[in-house]
Amino acid sequence: MKFAIALYSAAHTPSSRRALLFAQAALAGGHEIVRLFFYQDGVYSASNNVVAPQDEQDIARQWREFVSQHQLDGVVCIAAALRRGVLNAEEATRYQRSAVNLEAPWALSGLGQLHDAIQDADRLICFGGP
Amino acid sequence: MSKSLLVISRQAPWSGPSAREALDIVLAGGAFDLPIGLLFLDDGVFQLAPHQDAKAVQQKDLGANLQALGLFGIDDVFACSHSLAERGLTPPASAQPLGNEDICRLIDRYDQVITL
Amino acid sequence: MSTLHVLSHSPFTDSRLDSCLRLCGREDAILLCGDGAYGLHSPALHTKGVKVFVLAEDMQARNLPLPDWADSVDYPGFVQLSIDYDKVNTWL
């Protein structure tokens, strides 16, 4: 089964962790993830600048490692990211901002990537809210 | 054949970028000629209320985006009758009002659904 | 066509479950997760007669007993439910 997974919440929310555990279970079950698409506050789950307290789970880091390890297609919506201050090096240069908080394995792209993933997948699964 | 997508918009237009970002999903799908439906549910029906004034809170007018739906080939626009009645709104011309049973069948008809 | 509705808001402070129960079909099911698990205490959910699942970790974290009208699932079970139903509607 091919899954498209969309995340709408930040790394500190339970739903971001829930999405990660679902994605891990999907791969462990022999399924495919055609794309992860982070939209709305989901862009914060891809931020490289999240510093979790030492005795708490660092979900943003776990997402990064998960995507890298399985070489998944991790797309962050560019319009949602810019609005929320999540920038890669290219966008930071373009808009003359001092901080870069989005790096590989994440790629910034448009909403077309969400629709493309929906077309490609058997199931779209969204995570967000609390 | 393309998979169809129903977007259910539940947010009032003035509660941050949520309503606009829901609409952006719809418009992007329309731009790619995909079969997209849009249903206004719960506080989402407030997006359809007449004579709203975005300038009063220095916002962009979401109504302009709603009017663009037709230009993007989005003709399947619906509003929940129950939500409209609950909020004292009369059914707008821009969206087809649907009762609970019809909405249930509407959700059934689409391949995928995003509620936000 | 069947839909798995996923809810993560507490029904005691939020209207999502009410709307979901109003619109969900006979073939549909509801998966409660996060604070949505508090829905196990909601009489409306039980009386509607719709199939109810709850994410086991959220039930355990909140010390909620599993009523006889609901089933608990772990993450592999969640993945399986998303396959068993034709689509997943998460009430974000």
Taking only the tens place, the pLDDT of each residue in C2-39 is: 999 999 999 999 999 999 999 999 999 999 999 999 99
Structural domains in chain A plus CATH codes: 2-127 (3.40.1260.10)
pTM of the model: 0.97
Which CATH topology does B5-115 take?
A: Hypothetical Protein Ychn; Chain: A, (3.40.1260)
Inter-chain touch A123–C82, beta carbons under 8 Å: yes
Residues of A marked as catalytic: 77
Q: What is the ipTM of this complex?
A: 0.97
Q: What pLDDT score was predicted for residue B15?
A: 86
Neighbouring chains to A with at least 3 Cβ pairs closer than 8 Å? B, C
Parse chain B into domains and list their residue ranges.
Answer: 5-115
Contact C20, C47 (CB under 8 A): no
Q: Please tell me the predicted confidence (pLDDT) of residue B16.
A: 87
Q: Which of B45, B39, B38 is nearest to B86 (CA)?
A: B45
What does the DSSP 8-state code read for residue B4?
Answer: P
Q: Do C82 and A125 touch (CB under 8 A)?
A: yes
Nearest CA in chain A to B111: A123
Q: Which domains does chain C have, with CATH numbers?
A: 3-90 (3.40.1260.10)
Strand ranges in chain C using DSSP code E only, listed in sequence order: 3-7, 29-32, 51-55, 70-73, 87-90
Dist CA C83 CA A60 (whole Å): 27
Best mutation site among B5, B112, B115 for testing chain A: the one with the most A CBs within 10 Å?
B112
Report the residue of chain C nearest A40, measured CA to CA: C92
Residue C6 CB-density burial (10 A; 0-12 exposed, 13-18 middle, 19+ buried)? buried
Q: How far is B50 from chain C (nearest CA, A)?
A: 24
